[in-house]
């Protein structure tokens, strides 16, 4: 995919002026509410006409003010998952799902309803009216409906906002799985750093209708360790939990971690606060913590009273957050060895 | 009840049914234009559609007479097609359609305005053209409002008097609907009891219309 955007739009006092080009798979648009993210989404989908500029998807101009091209939404083949699902209230789940599919030319149907119904686990809901679905089920149906229209690109506008934490993490694996399985590029709009980190690889940071920065999602998270109020969270994908006394042992890359929480088969995503990783200069002789990982410091970043220490443990990565005083006392710098100590109970399971 | 009364009842039903059904496509189209488009002259269209709501029916009847009469504005056209509107059933239908039309449009319009525009946006991003989303989203979602509008218009047509008597006259068996028949009875010595029985029929019909309207609204809600 190659998606080139260079547009301007003025609405009252607010002006949007963005230019970017995307070529990878999963991008995030991150910014506070009111920064123009949704306006941009409407422009890209063709629901709002920019004042000037051009939008080109894989060489096909969707909008070009010079050449007077403005493709209507139904001709763009750009899918949208809206914040409030917008399932058609007078249709059941099945009819909602196939609405876009029926309107896709047969030669462009790359995905079958059966595959989506299975991937999203919707079989038992097909005949149900959409008003009798839970919030999470609604978003799953909305996602399936959009994917079934076989779009060249999917825009998601805060699709998880309004769902509670637990539901959110039930949906995310579905989102990731479907996008991966059917190979559809994603532009994910959100004001939640957590969602952006879970869903995307690269981020455009939005501020008052402008793109402030463009960076890898990991860099954005590290930046928030320094400036944000909530610190940095390590996201760990752990597999094959096995009982380990009262605790559980998980596979993490090529090594093991001991956790208090049981998990399921397949992928388990855990969050571990950077503050919950204590660093020791030498191996502590006796400690109550269950995980002692000899690591190599790969980076020290940040200033002020919060610093991040990036750690490399047998090829896996962690970030620990400590105060500058500790950095000085322990003489932590790039290349030195430290022991990261983590309690078994410090991990919180997301899904 | 005399055969003439039965005729009046049948005629009333005929006029109201034909008027409502013939107005329906135009009513839906007008409501759609008023709600979903931004064509110039929308305010004028709106005024024109609503005018019969505030004008005395007699005035409407007279204006229609000026339009459809032999020497009226449309006279040459009607003569060309050999059509006669005044003092015919067609005239009665036209009169009641014009008078009831604003009620139909008003109701459908309220229904369409209640449709979240984002459903239409979703439909469009899923590949639906405007006429496609009209059939699959707008019409089904404004179904209750359309039924309500039809009911209102039907009931209004059953009671139409002023415009009808001017444009179509009061000819038993041709244009004499229930209200016109009642009017004739009240002008006839000793016609009170006949008038009263037609009044009861009129009330009964209106009540049945209301019941049907309620039942259809309930069935929409249940879905």
Task: Dump the DSSP string for A74-115.
Answer: HHH-EEEE-TT----TTSBHHHHHHHHHHTS-GGG--S-HHH
What are the distances in angstroms from CA A315 to CA A17, A89, A292?
41, 50, 16
Q: Which of B116, B119, B125 sits opposite A73 (nearest CB)?
A: B125
Instruction: Give B143's contacts in chain A (Cβ within 8 Å).
Output: 90
For A218, the token pair is 């990991």
Distances in Å between the alpha carbon of B203 and those of A141, A298, B179, B208, B213?
49, 89, 11, 9, 15
In a shared domain, residues A129 and A266: no
From A42's Cα to the closest Cα of chain B, the distance in A is: 9
Is A99's CB within 8 Å of B116's CB? no
Residues of A whose CB is below 8 A from B38: none
- Check CB contact under 8 Å for B126 and A103: yes
Q: Are residues A158 and A244 in the same domain?
A: no
What separation in angstroms does the CA of A199 have from each of A131, A219, A265, B188? 28, 15, 21, 84
pLDDT digits (tens, 9 = 90+) for A168-205: 888 888 888 888 888 899 999 998 888 899 899 999 99
Cross-chain residue pair A79–B125, CB shorter than 8 Å: yes
The Cα–Cα gap between B61 and B64 comes to: 5
Contact across the interface for A145 and B121, Cβ inside 8 Å? no
CA closest to A155 among chain B residues: B125
Pair (A218, A329) in one structural domain: no
What are B91's strand-pairing partners?
Answer: none
CATH number, position B185: 1.10.3720.10
A-chain CB neighbours of B132 within 8 Å are: 103
Q: Tell me, what's the pLDDT at A102?
A: 93
Say whether residue A97 is in contact with chain B using an 8 A CB cutoff. no
- Cβ B48 vs Cβ B105: under 8 Å: no
- Structural domain harbouring B95: 3-222
Range of the domain at A147: 3-227
Closest Cα in chain B, distance from residue A217 (Å) = 28
**B222 pLDDT above the threshold of 70:** no
What's the pLDDT score for residue A85?
87
Chain B residues touching A77 at Cβ < 8 A? 127
Q: What angle do CA A140, A143, A144 make, to 5 degrees?
A: 85
Q: How many domains does chain A have?
A: 2
- Find the CATH number of the domain harbouring A317: 2.40.50.100
- Same-domain status, A109 and A192: yes
Of A46, A47, A99, the CB nearest to B126: A99
Can you state the angle between helices A93-102 and A135-148, rounded to 10 degrees? Answer: 20
The minimum CA-CA distance between B108 and chain A, rounded to whole Å, is 17
What's the confidence (pLDDT) of residue B101?
Answer: 95
Q: Calculate mean pLDDT across residues B40-66.
A: 92
Chain B closest CA to A277's CA: distance in Å? 45
Specify the DSSP class assigned to residue A232. -
Is A78 touching B (CB cutoff 8 A)? yes
**CA-closest candidate to residue B179, choices B88, B103, B163:** B163
- Kindly state whether residues A20 and A123 are assigned to the same domain: yes
Q: What HEC string does chain B produce?
A: CCHHHHHHHHHHHHHHHHHHHHHHHHHHHHHHHHHHCCCCCHHHHHHHHHHHHHCCHHHHHHHHHHHHCCCCCCHHHHHHCCCCCCCCHHHHHHHHHHHHHHHHHHHHHHHHHCCCHHHHHHHHHCCCCHHHHHHHHHHHHCHHHHHHHHHHHHHHHHCCCHHHHHHCCCCCCCCCCHHHHHHHHHCCCCCHHHHHHHHHHHHHHHHHHHHHHHHHHHHHHHC
Distance from CA of B117 to the nearest CA of A (A): 10
The encoded tokens of residue A245 equal: 């006394």
Is the domain of A51 the same as that of A28? Answer: yes
Assess whether A200 and A301 both reside in one domain. Answer: no
Q: Is A133 helix (H, G, I), strand (E, B) or coil?
A: coil
Give the other-Cβ count within 10 Å of A258's Cβ. Answer: 18
Minimal Cα distance from B121: which residue of A? A47
Residue B223, pLDDT score: 56
A159 touches chain B (CB under 8 A): no
A19 close to B (CB below 8 A): no
Residues A187 and A62 reside in one and the same domain: yes
Query: Is B127 in Cβ contact with A86 (below 8 Å)?
Result: no
Distance (Å) from the alpha carbon of A215 to chain B's nearest alpha carbon: 29
- Tell me, what's the pLDDT at B213? 85
> A192, A227, A262: which is the final residue of a domain?
A227
Task: Judge if A213 and A240 occupy the same domain.
Answer: no
In a shared domain, residues A149 and A239: no
The pair of three-digit structure tokens given for residue A250, joined into one six-digit string: 């998980």
Interchain CB distance below 8 Å, A86 and B121: yes
Low-confidence residues in chain A, pLDDT < 70: 228-229
Side-chain half-sphere exposure of A75, counting CA atoms within 13 A: 9
CB-CB under 8 Å, A78 with B126: no
* Cα–Cα distance measured from residue A165 to residue A198, given in angstroms and rounded to the nearest whole number: 13
Chain B residue with Cα closest to A85: B122
Q: Is the pLDDT of residue B39 over 90?
A: no
Q: Which of A176, A207, A227 is the last residue of a domain?
A: A227
**3 state DSSP class of A182:** helix
**Which residues in chain A are contacts of B141 at CB distance < 8 A?**
89-90
A316-322 sheet: strands from edge to edge: A278-280, A337-342, A291-301, A307-313, A316-322
CA distance B175 to B169: 7
For residue A10, the model assigns a pLDDT of 94
Last residue of a domain, one of A176, A197, A227: A227
A17 shares its domain with A154: yes
- Considering the domain architecture, whether residues A223 and A243 belong to the same structural domain is answered as no
Q: Chain A closest CA to B122's CA: distance in Å? A: 7
Compute the average pLDDT of residues B188-210.
Answer: 91
Q: Do A47 and B119 touch (CB under 8 A)?
A: no
Beta strand pairing call for A26-30 and A202-207: parallel
Alpha carbon separation from B152 to A219, B35, B99, B149, B161 (Å, rounded): 64, 20, 11, 5, 16
Total structural domains in chain B? 1
């Amino acid at each position: 995919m190659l998606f080139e955007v260079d547009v301007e739009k003025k609405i009252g006092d607010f002006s949007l002026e963005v230019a970017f080009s995307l070529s990878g798979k999963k991008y995030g648009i991150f910014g506070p509410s009111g920064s123009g993210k949704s306006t941009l989404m409407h422009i890209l989908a063709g629901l709002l006409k920019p004042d000037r500029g051009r939008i080109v998807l894989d060489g096909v101009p969707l909008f070009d003010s010079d050449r007077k091209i403005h493709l209507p939404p139904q001709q763009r083949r750009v899918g949208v998952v809206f914040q409030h699902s917008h399932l058609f209230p007078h249709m059941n789940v099945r009819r909602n799902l196939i609405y876009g599919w029926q309107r896709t030319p047969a030669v462009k149907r790359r995905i079958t309803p059966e595959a989506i119904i299975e991937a999203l686990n919707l079989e038992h809901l097909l005949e149900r009216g959409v008003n009798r679905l839970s919030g999470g089920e609604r978003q799953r149906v909305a996602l399936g409906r959009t994917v079934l229209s076989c779009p060249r690109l999917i825009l998601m506008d805060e699709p998880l906002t309004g769902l509670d934490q637990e539901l959110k993490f039930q949906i995310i694996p579905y989102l990731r799985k479907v996008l991966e399985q059917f190979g559809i590029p994603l532009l994910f709009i959100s004001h939640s750093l957590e969602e952006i980190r879970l869903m995307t690889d690269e981020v455009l940071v939005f501020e008052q209708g402008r793109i402030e920065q463009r960076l890898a999602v990991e860099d954005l998270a590290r930046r928030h360790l320094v400036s944000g109020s909530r610190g940095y969270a390590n996201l760990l994908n752990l597999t094959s939990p096995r009982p380990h006394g009262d605790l559980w042992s998980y596979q993490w890359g090529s090594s093991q971690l001991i956790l208090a929480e049981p998990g399921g088969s397949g992928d388990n995503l855990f969050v571990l606060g950077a503050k919950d990783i204590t660093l020791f200069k030498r191996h502590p002789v006796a400690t109550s913590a269950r995980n002692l990982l000899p690591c190599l410091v790969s980076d020290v970043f940040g200033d002020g009273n919060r610093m991040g220490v990036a750690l490399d443990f047998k090829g896996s990565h962690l970030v620990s957050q400590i105060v500058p005083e500790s950095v000085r006392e322990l003489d932590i710098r790039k290349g030195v060895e430290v022991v990261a100590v983590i309690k078994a109970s410090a991990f919180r399971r997301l899904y | 009840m005399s055969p003439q009364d039965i005729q009046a009842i049948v005629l009333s039903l005929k006029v109201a049914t034909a008027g409502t059904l013939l107005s329906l496509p135009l009513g839906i189209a007008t409501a759609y234009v008023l709600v979903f488009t931004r064509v110039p002259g929308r305010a004028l269209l709106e005024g024109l559609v609503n005018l019969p709501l505030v004008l005395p029916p007699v005035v409407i009847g007279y204006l229609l007479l000026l339009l459809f009469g032999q020497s009226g504005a449309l006279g040459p056209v009607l003569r060309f097609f050999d059509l006669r509107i005044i003092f015919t059933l067609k005239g009665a239908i036209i009169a009641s359609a014009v008078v009831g039309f604003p009620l139909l449009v008003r109701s459908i319009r309220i229904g369409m305005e209640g449709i979240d525009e984002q459903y239409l946006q979703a439909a469009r991003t899923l590949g639906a053209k405007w006429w496609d989303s009209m059939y699959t989203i707008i019409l089904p979602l404004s179904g209750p409002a359309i039924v309500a509008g039809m009911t209102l218009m039907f009931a209004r047509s059953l009671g139409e008097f002023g415009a009808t008597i001017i444009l179509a006259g009061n000819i038993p068996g041709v244009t004499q609907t229930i209200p016109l028949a009642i009017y004739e009875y009240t002008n006839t010595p000793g016609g009170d009891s006949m008038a009263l029985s037609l009044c009861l029929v009129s009330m009964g019909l209106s009540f049945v219309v209301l019941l049907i309207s309620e039942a259809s609204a309930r069935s929409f809600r249940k879905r």
